[in-house]
Amino acid sequence: MDTQARLLLEKLLSAGEKESAGRRSRQAALTASHLADYRSFTSLQKKESFDTTMRAAQVEGAVKLKWDNEHTEDGFIRRVDLLNAGKLAGFLGVVLVQDQVDQAEVQLAPFAVRFSVVQELMAHWRKLRKARGLGPDSVSDWLDAIRAIEVFRHEISGEVISMPVREASARLFNDSKRIERITGALDVLLANNIEAEVREPAAVWQELGLFREEHPVRLAGNVTIERERVTALLDRPYTGLPAGTVKRLASIPTMIMTIENLTTFHSEAKRSCDEPILLIYTAGMPSPAWRAMYVRLLHDLPNGVPVCHWGDIDEGGFRIAAVLAREALSVGYVLLPCTVMHPDNVPEERRKKATPHTLERIRHFAQMAGWDELGEAVATAGFTVEQEGLA
């Protein structure tokens, strides 16, 4: 098969697939501009090689050739129309994207109930769009990502996962770097949203209890904590402790507030470290070990002590709030939003206009957190803002 003819036929096939997916309105064809190099050939051997490949594609019923001289079909080819994308794909020995999607759907469909984003993914691929740079030929990445989530989140029941990412990857896949390579798919599946903001790899792994380097939990306030080996007052302005060593409260705070972002945590820790308020930095989406610690701290808290959260006013922030609310509810507490998160308290200059899709996702996670009123207020206001903009 002539190399230059093949390259042009591949381009023609791509145009045909875009036309089928509704991403191109013009009929797929190779026109004079595409054929300019071919039409400038001075070597008869090169021209005949090109023509032979094109004629073979026409014999297969894949294309229709138009010549300078339509009666004798000699001279140069002036136009190539696509007749049948499937036949052209067969001629080239490639698989149509739509066929790849069909094959991927068969493999991923069993997981669509647990991961509704699978249906979004299929629709995305059918429009010839990729998700985190991954197309339907990457189905093995998505299957491995699903496997990792199910193992680390569901199958190891009763065990809090806290493990170096490469150790976990080697155990699960016999490949120490496999989890790092499928981080994009993990992020989409964990967010269950193909349009979710791209997170740093460490934040994605943390949600599963995996880390490259383990970081201590930061806590602040004039509060006494019972730990693995000692019961002591938290240092000023804050203390960093391994989550697993934090056992329970040894004094009763007037409030427990979780804070999503580090800058805000540092500011609030300096401001209120001498007050009996327990501040806990979530480091974005908290890890399983962090969440287990959080439940232990709430377990013996007397009724009436408010449990609050201060996070970003965006999809990720409300998703984190929904996770925290679920953990708090497991020990009988209702998580309250910090008052500064209400749209009425956000200056106009710090607001960033949000898409309808983002606002719908905010509303969804707000409902999961039990923050229906706040979710509706944010959706009505139509903006997002990072936590630092609320300080």
pLDDT digits (tens, 9 = 90+) for 226-272: 999 999 999 999 999 999 999 999 999 999 999 999 999 999 999 99
The owner of tokens 């997002």 is: 384
The mean pLDDT value for 74-87 works out to 90
Per-domain residue ranges for the chain? 3-92, 97-211, 217-390
* Own/partner long-range contacts of 180-186 (Cβ < 8 Å, ≥24 apart): 181/141, 182/141, 182/142, 182/144, 182/145, 182/148, 184/131, 184/132, 184/133, 184/134, 184/141, 185/132, 185/134, 185/138, 185/141, 185/142, 185/144, 185/145, 186/145, 186/148, 186/149
Mean pLDDT calculated for residue range 128-154: 92
- pLDDT of 156 > 70? The answer is no
Segment 164-171 mean pLDDT: 93
| Architecture of the structural domain at 217-390 | 3-Layer(aba) Sandwich (3.40)
Is residue 92 within 8 Å of residue 13, measured between CB atoms?
Answer: yes
Is pLDDT of 158 > 60? no
Q: Provide the percentage of residues in the chain whose pLDDT is more than 70.
A: 96
pLDDT in tens, 199-215: 999 999 999 989 888 88
Give the pLDDT band of residue 300 (cuts 50, 70, 90).
confident
pLDDT of residue 58: 92
Rounded CA separation 89/17 (Å): 10
Evaluate if residue 350 carries a pLDDT over 60.
yes
Q: Lowest-confidence range among 35-44, 321-330, 340-349?
A: 340-349
Please tell me the least confidently modeled range out of 21-35, 113-127, 216-230: 21-35
Instruction: Give the separation between CA 194 and CA 357, rounded to whole angstroms.
Output: 11
Question: How sure is the predictor about 217, in pLDDT bands with cuts at 50, 70 and 90?
Answer: very high
* pTM listed for this prediction: 0.76
Looking at residue 109, its pLDDT comes to 94
